[in-house]
Amino acid sequence: MSDKVEICGVNTARLRVLKNDETNALLLRTKDGDAKAREELIYGNLRLVLSVIQRFLNRGENADDLFQVGCIGLMKAIDNFDISLGLRFSTYGVPMIIGEIRRYLRDNTSMRVSRGMRDTAYKAMQARERLQNELGREPSAEEIASAIGLPREEVVFALESVADPVSIYEPVYSDGGESVMVLDQIRDADNTDEHWLEQIALGDAINGLSERERHILALRFYYGRTQMEVASEIGISQAQVSRLEKSAISRIKKSL
């Protein structure tokens, strides 16, 4: 369905998809200050932005706004991508686009912290600083709550409500070389971004097939038809179906 969406006056069905070697060549030219190459990179990766925003559309946000914010993330990814790391650009670009959209959603949320909760948070922070000086260590939530005479849960919620969000790309250590970021120190077993990125790569690989090959794979693996049924439907022999199917699968594997 994303191929039929009109966003910001762009016909997404006609967006170009760059091959990996084309992307790398344009990245090298961009790093040398080639503005035209940078523009080609942006337009050649708009499908990537479109794919990313699909996961945020159920929040009621305007698709045009998300697309524009995603493009900002894409441009930041292009400007900051390190070619020497040997990564695929999409591996770096997708998290950057997601991060930019999440920042936009966070900054434009209608949720506001109440005056009472802010007052509680400030009292708790003052108590934490005082206890830290007295104890010589970081006080627990129970100790802070006891010091200001409030339930532990209320203190925890208040402190979290005023805490500044930390970017997963925030550097936490650097030895003069490559920095260690927050992202490098966290793990979420339920996070599906990697699987989702694989789906994007698979979609790009399938788009590289001919129309007949895509049709055969759809009949075989989506509709569950046998090779004989497929051969009868499209008017070729079963042996030709088998050969085209194997060739298509081999090309997909090679692309991935």
pTM of the entire predicted model: 0.43
Residue-wise pLDDT tens digits, 22-38: 888 999 999 899 999 99
- H-type helices in the chain, by residue range? 20-31, 35-44, 46-53, 63-80, 89-107, 115-135, 141-148, 152-162, 193-207, 211-217, 227-234, 238-255
Arithmetic mean of pLDDT over the chain: 80
115-162 and 208-255 have identical folds? yes
**Residue keyed to tokens 């706004």:** 65
So what's the pLDDT on residue 102?
81
Contact indicator for 225, 233 with CB cutoff of 8 Å: yes
Alpha-carbon span 254 to 256, nearest angstrom: 5
Number of Cβ within a 10 Å radius of residue 80: 11
* Percent of the chain whose pLDDT exceeds 90: 16
Alpha-carbon span 111 to 107, nearest angstrom: 10
Please report, to the nearest 10 degrees, the dihedral formed by the alpha carbons of residues 165, 169, 174, 177 taken in order.
-170
So what's the pLDDT on residue 5?
46
C-alpha separations of 155 from 131, 133, 146, 181 in Å:
15, 19, 10, 29
- Give the architecture-level CATH label for domain 208-255: Orthogonal Bundle (1.10)
Query: What is the domain partition of the chain in residue ranges?
Result: 2-110, 115-162, 208-255
Alpha-carbon span 194 to 88, nearest angstrom: 13
Q: Which fold has domain 2-110?
A: Four Helix Bundle (Hemerythrin (Met), subunit A) (1.20.120)
Q: What is the mean pLDDT of residues 122-137?
A: 88
So what's the pLDDT on residue 175?
55
- Give the architecture-level CATH label for domain 115-162: Orthogonal Bundle (1.10)
